[in-house]
Amino acid sequence: MTISNGGSAKYVIESGLRPEHRAQAARGYWQAFSRKLRYPLGPEQKAIAFVERVLQPDHAISAVSSSGDFLGAAGFKTPNGSFIGGEFDDLRQVYGLFGAAWRGLLVSTLERACENGTLLMDGIFVEPQARGLGVGTALLHAIMGHAANSELQRVRLDVIDTNPRARALYEREGFVVQDVKKLGLAAPIFGFSTATEMIKQV
């Protein structure tokens, strides 16, 4: 699918992630979510190495410019895997045994179960130079289309209280609030206090 923003700028929304974009996608993911993941996965160099190691291209939809530049991606989770997955051994390879042990505990607090009939969003991010072109909205529409084509009934996502712009986008696109989860004493670790679960039927 090729999209123009009304001017000369065009981009394509693609299923998956091109191999040559893997490293840039890892950096983009970290830049988008580093505030939330700085303690479980930081420092930056190791975090990007871990994300690049574990990301699954077949659980992503990406935006690519007409010249082949990576512009952003939306990841998703299904019972068969997730965009950013990984096992304990992946943590150990990057952080060592001790580092993997306590990081694994922190990461596990952010895990979300994937219910039957539901596509679970696993992060959406847009490169700085592509913001304002409608890339984020196009990726969100593609996620909903993927869910419908996969014969799933709904798309679910969590948006944190420090990201009101994202929540406003989701509300405009018809997502409705299902639940609000408080982080409590863990809030200073992850940099947010509440996560709002939102769902849209497709």
Condensed to tens digits (0 to 9), the pLDDT of residues 163-179 reads 898 899 999 999 999 99
Phi, psi of 115 (to 5 degrees): -85, 155
* CA–centroid distance for 181 within its chain: 19
Q: What percent of the chain has pLDDT over 90?
A: 75
For the record, the structure tokens of 77 come out as 């989770």
- For β-strands 81-82 and 154-160, DSSP reports them as unpaired
Residue 133 pLDDT > 60: yes
Q: How many CA atoms lie within 13 A of 25 on its CB side?
A: 29
Condensed to tens digits (0 to 9), the pLDDT of residues 44-88 reads 999 999 999 999 999 999 999 999 999 999 999 987 889 998 999
Q: Is the peptide bond before 43 cis (omega within 30 degrees of 0)?
A: yes
pLDDT number for residue 6: 47
